[in-house]
Amino acid sequence: MHILVAGGAGYIGSVLVPMLLEEGHQLTVLDRLYFGDTLVAPKQAFANRLHVVRGDIRGHSGELFRGVDAVADLSGISNDPSCELEPELTRNVNVQGGKRLAVLAHEAGVRRYVYSSSCSVYGHGEGLGLTEESKRHPVSLYARAKVEVEDFVRELGAKSDGRFEPVALRLATVFGLSPRMRFDLAINVMTRNAYVNRRIMVDGGGKQWRPFVHVRDVARAFSMALTRDTKDVSGEVFNVGSDSNNVQILNLAFRVRDAIPGTEVVHAPTDPDLRDYNVTFDKIRRKLGYETTLSIDDGVREVLAALRDGRIDPDDRRWYTLKQYLFLREAERVVAEVGLEGRLLF
Ligand SMILES: NC(=O)c1ccc[n+]([C@@H]2O[C@H](COP(=O)([O-])OP(=O)(O)OC[C@H]3O[C@@H](n4cnc5c(N)ncnc54)[C@H](O)[C@@H]3O)[C@@H](O)[C@H]2O)c1
């Protein structure tokens, strides 16, 4: 299959892309490369089957979809604080850009379309074990954008007489190693802080529930959604994760602490976290036979080993989504102020 992955150089994308290449697919990646070129190794290993386009989901033409069978949309601004930075920009990218990508794919005759939504659409969840049918209560701009694009893409499918097959994957919070590391995700940042500072800060009280899933298990879910039969996935929404990886944040902190002796857990003086959701993953298990393979403890061990071996720099700005967006915003200001034809010193 020829698959286009928008946002394919990001945290999930840079794990998904090599996996799809290993499976034998031809890949096009569309990405701004805001966090660097994380696809150097797969470009070398699969030179004839991977084409990386440094471009924007808001600006590219429909030409990009020529011969494409399936699209995975992983692009956009990927956490709450980065979305709050410039709300107008967030709507532009995450909502208008997300819808535009789906419309162009649909017009170009792409059949399968997998959208990366989030369990954060449940927001302040009511009760334990939320299903795909539960009411959504998004409490952030980021999550409201997910709800809007999820619905838009589903309607596009419903109006297409079966020619366009959308699938929405509502991902649990992801953890584990990736070529574009993210130390702004709970398990990764707790592991990093325990290793570097021997201290884990717990925000929002710690009683809030959150489901988690390993990045390689997420990539497997995308692969299934992209390639499985129409009857299994078309028009469907799936929560992606496992019931046993629903954890209250304070308990998560204790688990990470236990992996790194001498670590203390400290409560940050913050307001209660409004995001509180405990989710069931029964549907994806029943319909697709999907089971996760990696536990929270596996993820902690893996990230810890990479920190100990020096394979990842815990202080690299690019691994902190908000810091990197702040840096890019500042860089843009400086270029506008003193740049000549886009150059600063030369
Ligand atoms: N990581 C998680 O825990 C998680 C959980 C639920 C949902 N998601 C969703 O999964 C998707 C991927 O998440 P991630 O963790 O890989 O995030 P990420 O920030 O690492 O990746 C996003 C990618 O999109 C690119 N991008 C941003 N704006 C773009 C634009 N205008 N045009 C083209 N490319 C653009 C970035 O350069 C980046 O490579 C996102 O939609 C995110 O909201 C992630």
Q: Give pLDDT tens digits for 50-60.
A: 999 999 999 98
The predicted pLDDT at position 41 comes to 97
The pLDDT > 70 percentage for the chain reads 100
Residues having CB within 6 Å of any atom of ligand 1: 7, 9-13, 30-35, 56-58, 74-76, 78, 93, 97, 116, 118, 171, 173-174, 180, 182, 185, 321
Q: How far is it, in rounded angstroms, from Cα 112 to Cα 167?
A: 8
DSSP 169-216: EEEPEEES--SS--TTSHHHHHHHHHHHHSEEEE-TTS--EEEEEEHH
Cα 41 versus chain centre, distance: 21
Beta carbons of 40 and 109 less than 8 angstroms apart: no
pTM: 0.97
Overall fold of domain 2-322:
Rossmann fold (3.40.50)
Mutate to test the pocket of ligand 1, among 4, 5, 11, 96 (most ligand atoms within 8 A of CB): 11
Tell me: the pLDDT tens digits for 170-189? 999 999 999 999 999 999 99
| Helical pair 98-107 and 141-158, crossing angle rounded to 10 deg | 20
Using alpha carbons, list the distances in angstroms from residue 214 to 9, 174, 251: 17, 6, 18
Domain-wise residue ranges, the chain: 2-322
Tokens of 183: 């130390």
* Mean pLDDT for the stretch of residues 97-117: 97
Tokens of 145: 């954008």
Secondary structure (3-state) at 65 = helix
Atom of ligand 1 nearest to the CA of 13: 16
**Within 10 A of 324 (CB to CB), how many other CB atoms are there?**
19
Pairing of strands 246-248, 209-214: antiparallel
- Ligand 1 centroid distance, CA of 74 (Å): 5
- Ligand 1 centroid distance, CA of 106 (Å): 21
* Mean pLDDT for the stretch of residues 270-287: 89
